Amino acid sequence: MAGDAVAEFLLMRGVTGASPAIGLWVGFIGALVLVAGLAWVAIASIIHRRVLPPNRYRGPSVLVMAAMIELGLPLLLAPPLLAFTGGDITALSSPASLTLQLLLTPFAFITLLAVFVALPRALEGVRLWQGSASLRQAGIGLLAGVFIWSAAQVFAALAVFIMRMLGINPAGQQEVTNMARQLPVPVAVVTIAILAPIAEELFFRGLVFNAWEREYGTRSALIGAALLFGLAHVPGGTPLAVVVVFLLGLVLTGVYAWTRNLATTIGIHAAFNLASVLALFFVAGRA
């Protein structure tokens, strides 16, 4: 965001000339500075909190880590993607470019978790995999996710009906919906219904909920993790979609607090996203 503001200022003043690519590279440098600063804060937090007992969260602020992804990653990706597309800005929305973006975001989540949480052992005692129990819970989660998705569609339909009665136009589509429409079905399924749920559940339930529960208690962690999950989907999302995502976040966090098994929430999240993707392609069509 900081780098983007600098780039926009320079473009408005004509400093970058006729090529918007220069502005993108200025934004890239700004994003590098931003991410480097956030990484320094994260490392300093790990050093400062390492003296805490094992039952406390000993890692960096989850908000700092979320900022690295939500603020830094888009600006870091733009110039390399522009180079990848041969300098054609319109090609940033091509299937190949979109696929790369959807692959890199889960990778960023997992990389941050590995570097700033797993390596310094910031969440000792949290089990990510519980053998056959996780497989069983993943299956239960997949089945539950179908019912939760169906309930979400009923809620959304009722909300749209009420909004129209009040004279509010609910038109608009979430950005990920527009992205998915341009992808081959197998690519959309792998990136949106498999990789994204795994990475997001590891971050929002595995890290955010557990970290905040150790610091502030279960109730605050439940609400906070759901709020952060909803806020992460605000960019490019319609107001109604963000509300649905927040409610989904409450359900996912509540289920994790009850089961203490990430496989359950991954299953629910994957089924929810898979149903959305399949409905987009085979019910709504590619119109």
Ordered by start, the domain boundaries in the chain are 1-125, 131-287
Which amino acid type is present at position 109? Answer: F
Q: Which two tokens stand for residue 96?
A: 């190949």
CA–CA separation, 260 and 205 (whole Å): 10
CB 250 within 8 A of CB 148: no
Burial 9-36 (b: 16+ CB within 10 A, else e): ebbeeeebeeeebbbbbbbbebbeebbe
pLDDT at 150: 95
How does pLDDT run along the chain (287 residues), one tens digit per residue?
A: 333 444 444 444 444 444 555 666 776 787 788 889 999 999 999 999 999 999 999 999 999 999 998 887 777 776 666 666 666 666 666 777 788 888 888 999 999 999 999 999 999 999 888 888 899 999 999 999 999 999 999 998 898 888 888 887 766 556 667 777 888 899 999 999 999 999 999 999 999 999 999 999 999 999 999 999 999 888 766 788 888 999 999 999 999 999 999 999 999 999 999 999 999 888 765 44
CA–CA separation, 166 and 241 (whole Å): 18
CA–CA separation, 110 and 130 (whole Å): 19
CB 72 within 8 A of CB 34: yes
Q: Which two tokens stand for residue 216?
A: 């502030």
CB 153 within 8 A of CB 280: no
Residues contacting 185, CB < 8 A, separation 6+:
277, 281
Alpha carbon of 269 to those of 85, 152, 191, 201, 272: distances in Å? 32, 13, 13, 8, 5
Measured at the CA of 174, the angle between CA 270 and CA 160, to 5 degrees, comes to 100
pTM for this predicted structure: 0.86
